[in-house]
Amino acid sequence: MLEAEQTALPQDTWSEPQLKYIMWLSLPQDMRPEEIRTKRQLASALGMSVDTLDEWELAPSFWPAVYERARSAIGHDLAKILQAMSAKAMAGNVQAAKLCLQTLGVQDETIRLKHEVAQDQIIVERPQRQLEDGD
């Protein structure tokens, strides 16, 4: 069975089954327990219906909690990720080098636009109405 871990949201925000579902969703499918790879299997293990899990997903803070948990898990591997990226860059991979420089804040591809309202003009043309005899 999955052990629930605390997410970025307060522990009392989610029930134990919801925390387990959040954690389960944050894992890549191949890292999930062998016997609980599908949503239906998880629902059964939690004693819930798939419809209940679907309802939980509708809560405004549900997906941000899943994202935060996934981000937290990736954070543990951040040093390895940076090292692998650096090794690719050192081997001549231009995209990896670019990503390394962006990660370090050395390269910035932000496009800056300057907009001055005084230069804008809106021209509205109305078709001329022909006067009829009674006008």
pTM tops 0.95: no
Predicted confidence (pLDDT) per residue in 13-52, tens digit? 899 999 999 999 999 888 899 999 999 999 999 999 999 9
Task: Check residue 76 and give its pLDDT.
Answer: 82
Task: Check residue 44 and give its pLDDT.
Answer: 97
Asked if 19 contacts 10 with a C-beta cutoff of 8 angstroms, the reply is: no
Q: Specify the residue for token string 């939690």.
A: 46
Task: Check residue 37 and give its pLDDT.
Answer: 93
Q: What is the mean pLDDT of the chain?
A: 81
Predicted confidence (pLDDT) per residue in 54-74, tens digit? 999 999 999 999 999 998 888
Q: Which of 34, 21, 10 is nearest to 66 (CA)?
A: 21
How many angstroms separate the CA atoms of 23 and 6, rounded?
Answer: 9
CB atoms under 10 Å from CB of 20, counted, come to 21
Q: How far is CA 124 from CA 19, 78, 129, in A?
A: 57, 56, 15
Angle (deg, nearest 10), helices 39-46 and 16-26: 160
Sign of CA dihedral 70, 95, 80, 33: positive
Predicted confidence (pLDDT) per residue in 98-129, tens digit? 888 888 887 666 656 555 666 665 566 665 55
Confidence of residue 1 (pLDDT cuts 50, 70, 90): very low
CB atoms under 10 Å from CB of 30, counted, come to 7
